């Protein structure tokens, strides 16, 4: 037994020895030579606008040490203080306080110059005071979350009584519509997530992070779904629709969390003053999510209490509020990527669930190749696309 | 070496402040290049005599003129252009701007130019000279490790400059290969009255190599004369030798607060051409400015292109009452 364990440690010991060798003799240094310029990368993690001052959190994303020499705001050298010094190791971060009289509603450019004269820029497209976590802003973010998340989803649920009376082909259309809606969210979330992943410091390997988190969420929900079904099957036979609706609500909730994060962080990065049109867009867009949640219930022709409907709506909508809080107050791009990924994984899982549900025991391909289903898929995607235009 | 300097400077001292403060943070290391000394140095006058004669020798000639011999070398060197901010410069004698060369009209100037840099370089003087001494024509580059002797008579009197004329020209100039060449009028022509004299070279640095300057200055170091104002005396004539070698931007300018000055464009006349408080110079253009401070106190001077001013091209004169 002991000998067996030792066998596992031999490669590890050799690896440790190799690492020591590499650090000691630095073959990389030999390749680069003495005068080779250092590789410098600096990323802006968070930018806060306070009255008469810009606060910037930066991270050294490069492999080498980096030293911040000067700061320019709008093409002018400006004084600054650094909380954590100006010499940053690999992944070292510091906060720069720049006493700059920024102008509400106008654009500014913050540029950090390193000792080698390399410049790293961050543009503030529209300067607005960054909210601090006080009661007023908690209230504002809650309201935004209600507007764009909770209320629209609940309104969408109100289609339930209407849906229940629909004939079978119309139901097939409707389920396909749901899949179309979700497919749109899948593409949308993936593109947003990958976009955010690009903004991450390279060391965080944003795309890999996104992929793993999405896959993780998918598998987790798959497990949860199986567990729910096994519990329900004994208690209430035929409540398959309820489980599916619940899963869709969870998936949409996770997606909306990411959406809330995006809206909140737009505030945090000083990049957007949230316009009325944007809120209107999100509201219309998210109403269709409510429809997606109740469609499987209607298909099963189940009786669902108002309380149960409300529960589903809250599961789908409330995370928007939490997302907006998190995004607004403790935003970091890593969170954004992670949550968008979780949303994508969840939605992918929900799509698979619905398709399985629609096909019952039959062939998925044959089920898809019917007029109501194809029309539904297209319609779902189109509805999201058109309402999405208001947001984009 | 450079790494140590980097750690030590511009890092340690970040002054506390309550109000909005425009400008650079910290101070440059004064031992590398001192903008205050540069202002009043020509023909290596800042060096001790035995050190100075390695770079400059003057020999009287029978006709009353001088033979002035200079040792100038090109060298790659990292220079500090703002506190903690380093630029991989190409320099004459390790400094940017290069050493100021000053002769009298009719003197013989002999410059032994050694290229210790990593690229071909040259010295191209403004002023009368035969084409063999131009330094700009094909084949006139001095290869690394080689030496060339430029020899010509100082003519005409005025304020001139010298710079590298090797292609690519923009790069060789903005990397730092330029300097001031002053030719004083000979006594038979007339003379300029005694004054406190200052050499000011308006220059800029493109640290990101995107053909746009990140740092502007007079005499290389951004805001140097804000932190250490130039001392002048009330009632005493002040003469400024102003040269513009700013690359990429077509023009640069100097504006002096609370005063006016006489302008001698290119310094080729002893009669002022205009009286103004703002002078515009194109790339390579220069002018001698004369004025007398009327009041004690601080007088700001800067490029009247606000952008240049805020990117480092700003300084102060501090006028003090004369000692009685």
Q: What average pLDDT does the structure give for chain B?
A: 91
- Residue A269 confidence (pLDDT): 57
CA pair distance B200, B183, nearest whole angstrom: 15
In a domain, B113, yes or no: yes
Q: Quick one: B93 and B200 in the same domain?
A: no
Q: Tell me which of B120, B149, B184 is where a domain ends.
A: B184
Q: Which residues contact B283 (CB under 8 A, 6 or more apart)?
A: B244, B245, B246, B247, B250, B251
Kindly give the residue spans of alpha helices, DSSP state H, lying in A237-360. 240-268, 276-300, 306-317, 319-329, 333-359
Residue B219 has pLDDT above 90, yes or no: yes
Taking the C-alpha atoms of residue A199 and residue A333, their distance in angstroms, rounded to an integer, is 7
The pLDDT assigned to B16 comes to 42
B223 contacts in chain A (CB < 8 Å) = 77
Q: Do the Cβ atoms of A70 and B15 come within 8 Å?
A: no
Say what percent of chain B tops pLDDT 70: 94
**What's the pLDDT at B7?**
37
Q: CB–CB of B200/B219 below 8 Å?
A: yes
Q: Is the pLDDT of residue A235 over 70?
A: no
Mean pLDDT in residue range A54-75: 92
- From A38's Cα to the closest Cα of chain B, the distance in A is 12
Give which of B2, B17, B24 to mutate to test A binding, by max A Cβ within 10 Å.
B24
Chain B environment of A92 (Cβ under 8 Å): none
DSSP for A189-253, please give it.
HHHHHHHHHHHS-GGG-HHHHHHHHHHHHHHHHHHHHHHHHHHHHHHSTTTHHHHHHHHHHHHHH
Q: Are residues B180 and B203 in the same domain?
A: no
pLDDT score of B9: 39
How do strand B230-233 and strand B314-320 relate by DSSP bridges? parallel
Inter-chain CB proximity B214 and A115 less than 8 Å: no
pLDDT (tens digit, 9 = 90+) per residue, A158-207?
888 888 888 878 878 888 888 888 888 888 888 888 888 888 888 888 89
| A19 to chain B, closest Cα gap in Å | 26
Query: Is B143 contained in some domain?
Result: yes
Q: What are the b/e assignments for A270-303, b being 16+ CB within 10 Å? A: bbbebeeebbebbbbbbbbbbbbbbbbbbbbebe
Q: Do B127 and B203 lie in a common domain? A: no
Contact at 8 Å (CB) between A328 and A267?
yes
SS3 content of chain A, % helix, strand, coil (to 5): 65, 15, 25
* B140/chain A closest Cα distance in angstroms: 29
Element (H, E) at A141: helix A135-145
In terms of domains, do B163 and B304 share one? no
Q: Decide if B218 is inside a domain.
A: yes
Residue among A77, A99, A101 minimizing CB distance to B310: A77
B170 & B297 share domain? no
Partner-chain residue, chosen from B18, B85, B310, that has the shortest CB–CB distance to A70: B85
pTM score of the predicted model: 0.76
Is the model's pLDDT at A295 over the cut of 50? yes
For the segment B194-217, the average pLDDT, to the nearest whole number, is 95
Do residue B209 and residue B173 come from a single domain? no
| Residue A112: per-residue pLDDT | 96
CATH of the domain at B306: 2.60.40.420
CB contact under 8 A, A80 and B25: yes
**Tokens representing A351?**
């799509």
Contact A115 B86 (CB under 8 A): yes
Whether B174 and B140 share a structural domain: yes
Nearest to B11 among A81, A87, A101 (CB): A87
How many CB atoms sit inside 10 A of residue A47's CB?
23
Structure tokens at B53: 């004669």
Q: What is the pLDDT of residues A340-350, one digit of tens each?
A: 888 888 888 87
Q: Which residue has the higher pLDDT, A254 or B128?
A: B128
CATH architecture of structural domain A42-124: Sandwich (2.60)
Mean pLDDT of A7-30: 81
CB of A361 less than 8 A from some CB of B? no
Distance from CA of A126 to the nearest CA of B (A): 21
**Structural domain for B174, as ranges:** 27-184
What is the Cα–Cα distance from A271 to A44, expressed in whole angstroms? 13
Is residue B17 a part of any domain in this protein?
Answer: no
Query: What does the pLDDT read at residue B3?
Result: 35
Which of B4, B10, B85 best probes binding to A when mutated, by most A CB atoms within 10 angstroms?
A: B85
Judge if ipTM > 0.85: no
Q: Do A79 and B84 touch (CB under 8 A)?
A: no
B153 or A201, which is more confident: B153
Which residue in the set A70, A75, A78 is minimally distant from B84, CB to CB? A70
- The answer to the question of residue B21 being in a domain is no
- Decide if A115 touches B, using CB distance below 8 A: yes
**pLDDT band at A105, cuts 50/70/90?**
confident
B9 found inside a domain: no
Give domain limits for chain A. 42-124, 135-391
pLDDT value for A239: 64
Number of domains forming the structure of chain B: 2
- How far is B225 from A209, CA to CA, in rounded Å? 51
List A residues 46-75 in contact with B (Cβ-Cβ < 8 A).
52, 67-72, 75
Q: Pick from B137, B162, B184: which residue ends a domain?
A: B184
- Of A320, A319, A311, the closest CA to residue A293 belongs to A311
B179: in domain: yes
pLDDT for position A34: 61
Residue A95: count of CB within 10 angstroms of its CB:
16
What integer is the mean pLDDT of A33-59?
84
Q: Which residue of A has its CA nearest to B212?
A: A75
């Amino acid at each position: 037994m002991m000998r067996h364990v030792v066998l596992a440690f031999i490669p590890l010991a050799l690896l440790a020895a190799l690492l020591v060798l590499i650090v000691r003799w630095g073959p990389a240094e030999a390749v680069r030579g003495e005068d080779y310029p250092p590789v410098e990368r600096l990323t802006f993690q968070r930018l806060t606008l306070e009255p008469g001052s810009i606060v910037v959190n930066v991270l050294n994303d490069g492999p080498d040490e980096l030293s911040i020499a000067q700061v320019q705001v709008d093409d002018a050298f400006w004084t600054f203080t650094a909380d954590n010094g100006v010499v940053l190791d690999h992944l070292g971060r510091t906060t720069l306080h720049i006493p700059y009289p920024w102008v509400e509603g106008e654009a500014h450019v913050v540029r950090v110059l390193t000792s080698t004269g390399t410049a790293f820029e961050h543009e503030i497209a529209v300067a607005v005071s960054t909210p601090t976590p006080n009661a007023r802003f908690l209230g504002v973010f809650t309201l935004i979350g209600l507007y764009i998340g909770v209320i629209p989803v609940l309104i969408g649920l109100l289609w339930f009584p209407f849906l229940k009376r629909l004939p079978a082909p119309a139901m097939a259309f409707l389920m396909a519509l749901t899949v179309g809606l979700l497919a749109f969210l899948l593409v949308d979330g993936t593109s947003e997530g990958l976009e955010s992943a690009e903004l991450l410091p390279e060391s965080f390997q944003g795309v890999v992070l996104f992929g793993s988190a999405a896959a993780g969420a998918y598998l987790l929900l798959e497990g949860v779904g199986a567990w729910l079904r096994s519990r329900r099957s004994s208690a209430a036979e035929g409540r398959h629709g309820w489980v599916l609706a619940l899963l869709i609500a969870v998936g949409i909730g996770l997606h909306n969390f990411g959406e809330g994060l995006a809206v909140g962080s737009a505030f945090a990065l000083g990049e957007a003053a949230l316009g009325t049109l944007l809120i209107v867009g999100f509201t219309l867009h998210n109403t269709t999510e409510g429809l997606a949640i109740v469609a499987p219930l209607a298909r099963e022709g189940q009786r669902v209490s108002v309380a149960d409907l409300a529960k589903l709506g809250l599961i789908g909508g409330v995370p928007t509020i939490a997302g907006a809080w998190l995004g607004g107050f403790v935003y970091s791009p890593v969170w954004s990527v992670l949550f968008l990924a979780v949303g994508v994984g969840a939605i992918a899982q929900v799509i698979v669930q619905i398709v399985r549900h629609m096909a019952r025991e039959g062939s998925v391909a044959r089920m898809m190749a019917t007029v109501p289903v194809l029309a539904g898929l297209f319609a779902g995607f189109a509805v999201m696309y058109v309402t999405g235009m208001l947001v984009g | 070496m450079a790494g140590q300097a980097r750690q030590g400077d511009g890092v340690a001292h970040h002054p506390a402040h309550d109000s909005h403060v425009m400008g650079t943070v910290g101070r440059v290391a004064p031992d590398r290049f001192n903008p205050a000394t540069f202002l009043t140095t020509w023909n290596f006058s800042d060096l001790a005599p035995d050190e100075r004669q390695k770079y400059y020798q003057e020999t009287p000639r029978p006709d009353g003129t001088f033979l002035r011999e200079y040792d100038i070398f090109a060298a790659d060197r990292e220079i500090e252009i703002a506190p903690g901010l380093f630029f991989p410069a190409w320099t004459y004698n390790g400094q940017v701007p290069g050493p100021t060369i000053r002769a009298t009209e009719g003197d013989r100037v002999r410059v032994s130019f050694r290229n210790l840099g990593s690229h071909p370089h040259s010295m191209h003087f403004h002023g009368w000279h035969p084409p063999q001494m131009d330094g700009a024509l094909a084949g006139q580059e001095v290869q690394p490790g080689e030496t060339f002797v430029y020899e010509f008579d100082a003519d005409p009197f005025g304020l001139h400059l010298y710079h590298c004329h090797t292609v690519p020209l923009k790069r060789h100039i903005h990397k730092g290969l330029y300097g001031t060449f002053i030719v004083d009028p000979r006594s038979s022509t007339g003379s300029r009255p005694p004054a406190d004299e200052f050499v000011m070279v308006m220059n800029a640095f493109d640290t990101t190599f995107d053909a746009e300057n990140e740092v502007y200055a007079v005499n290389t170091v951004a805001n140097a004369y804000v932190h250490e104002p130039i001392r002048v005396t009330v009632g005493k004539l002040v003469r400024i030798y102003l040269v513009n070698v700013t690359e990429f931007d077509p023009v640069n300018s100097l504006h002096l607060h609370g005063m006016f000055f006489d302008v001698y464009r290119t310094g080729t006349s002893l009669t002022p051409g205009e009286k103004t408080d703002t002078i515009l110079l194109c790339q390579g253009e220069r002018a001698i400015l004369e004025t007398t401070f009327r009041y004690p106190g601080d007088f700001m001077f800067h490029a009247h292109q606000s952008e240049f001013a805020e990117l480092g091209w700003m300084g102060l004169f501090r006028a003090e009452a004369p000692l009685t």
